Amino acid sequence: MPSNSWQQERLCLACSGGADSVLLVLIFAGTLLPKQLAILHYNHNTRDRETDADADFVQQLAESLKISFFTEKRTTGAQTEDALRCDRYTFFAKTIKKIGSHYLLTAHHANDLVETMLMRLIRGSSEIAAPKRCQKFGDYFRIHPLLGIRKQEILDFLTKNKIPWREDPSNHSYNYLRNRIRQLLTNFDSAAERTHWESGFVLAHQYLEEDSTCLDTLAQSYIQSDNQLDLQNVPYPALVRRAIHLWLRQPISRTCFEKILTHLDSKIPFRITLNPHFELVIQNRIITKKIFRLSVPYEFTDWTTGTLYLPTGCRLIRNNSTREQIFTEPQLNQTCAFLDPQYSSHITVRTWCPGDCYRPFKSHEKSLKKLFSDQKIPREERHQLPVLCDSEGRILWIPGLPPADFAQVRGEFAQKLTFSST
């Protein structure tokens, strides 16, 4: 634990219903009072009734221990491993804040540690010591108290004491890299060999975590400003990499990170856009954050007719139209769009949000960031463009881009939407 303050706060226990998280709950339920704990469960909604049954199981466990229970069910979004993890930890973060806690405990064990380290090696990560036993994320700490315990030890304990848990069939799916690594590790036949290599990984992880903490401390001393990172006097590549990671304070892809390293010594400014809010300008081993001039975030719901004036000074106009006009009226620069009235009767107009994506007419689903780049829409203009959505939140159209494929006109009548910047 980072300090003794946890003794005065509620600890949030992440529990999926699996064997490891059930053990985590039981350990702390046997150590602390129920009022000192909260159980958090995120329903990924990937297996219909089975994930609902997982949620019910965890809720019953919480009720039997008289511990507060918090849950949320995912309704939309991609089914990738990264997307599911992102949504899960978003739920954890907002629930922890709601409770007023600063501590999230998860049930990562020795086998998870091995799999994570191997995954990071495969992906070429410079930070192999993950997950760390205690790490700060924003306003809270993630703590992993079971890292020294093997999965088989957890299963043996629960089986011996006749304690039930839930099994997730997706843990055996080859769709996820972690599961493929897990399957490879089962090829170690004898229990003696298995104990040996798991213990070796745990020990190596301990040493690497200590090295990582040392590097963090040294690299932090070179960070003097939130807006600019001067690497001219940083002596070692390891410290350069570590200083960049610490300064950015956000996840970054390997490709993007390699671009930063490649262009550190550039004599002319090299620009990299990290997200819709800012870009990095790199020159002579100095990295500067450039914040984009954003329009004031806005959202207008249930726009049904007439002209809508936007805070950016632009306006949207909608008129009733017919299918024939689609082929007779010019649509220069895609400043107007024809949509099926079935989807465009009640429109929400808002600003661009990170993660926005949709499927343009006769194309594949892409992120808005990728579509803006493909269409060569200047960065400074992207936040001035309104995002039009239907009553279910699906993107219908963004001026400068084609309308959504699902909203194409199928009947005799249409809704004509026009964007004007004057």
pLDDT tens, residue by residue, 222-261: 998 888 999 999 989 999 999 999 998 777 777 888 899 9
Q: 23-78, pLDDT tens digit by residue?
A: 999 999 999 999 999 999 999 888 778 889 999 999 999 999 999 999 999 876 55
Domain range 299-420, CATH architecture: 3-Layer(bba) Sandwich (3.50)
Structure tokens at 140: 């809270």
pTM: 0.62
CATH of domain 4-208: 3.40.50.620
Q: 152-194, pLDDT tens digit by residue?
A: 899 999 999 999 999 887 777 777 788 888 888 776 644 545 5
Check if the beta carbon of residue 278 is closer than 8 Å to that of residue 290: yes
Average pLDDT over residues 405-422: 84
**What integer pLDDT is reported at residue 332 of this predicted model?**
45
Q: Where are the domains of the chain?
A: 4-208, 221-291, 299-420
Q: Does the pLDDT at position 124 exceed 50?
A: yes
Q: Which residues contact 163 (CB under 8 A, 6 or more apart)?
A: 22, 26, 157
Q: Distance of CA 370 to CAs 282, 316, 354, 378, Å?
A: 22, 24, 12, 12
What CATH topology corresponds to 221-291?
A: 3.30.465
Find the DSSP H helices in 313-416: 323-328, 341-344, 368-374, 379-382
Q: 264-314, pLDDT tens digit by residue?
A: 999 999 988 776 557 899 999 999 987 655 556 788 887 877 788 887 767
Distance of CA 176 to the CA centre of its chain: 16
Check if the beta carbon of residue 42 is closer than 8 Å to that of residue 52: no
Question: Strand, helix or coil at 383?
Answer: coil
More confident residue, 136 or 311: 136
Check if the beta carbon of residue 114 is closer than 8 Å to that of residue 198: yes
Conformational region of residue 207, where left means phi above 0, alpha means psi within -120 to 50, and beta covers everything else: alpha
CB atoms within 10 A of CB 378: 8
More confident residue, 5 or 155: 155
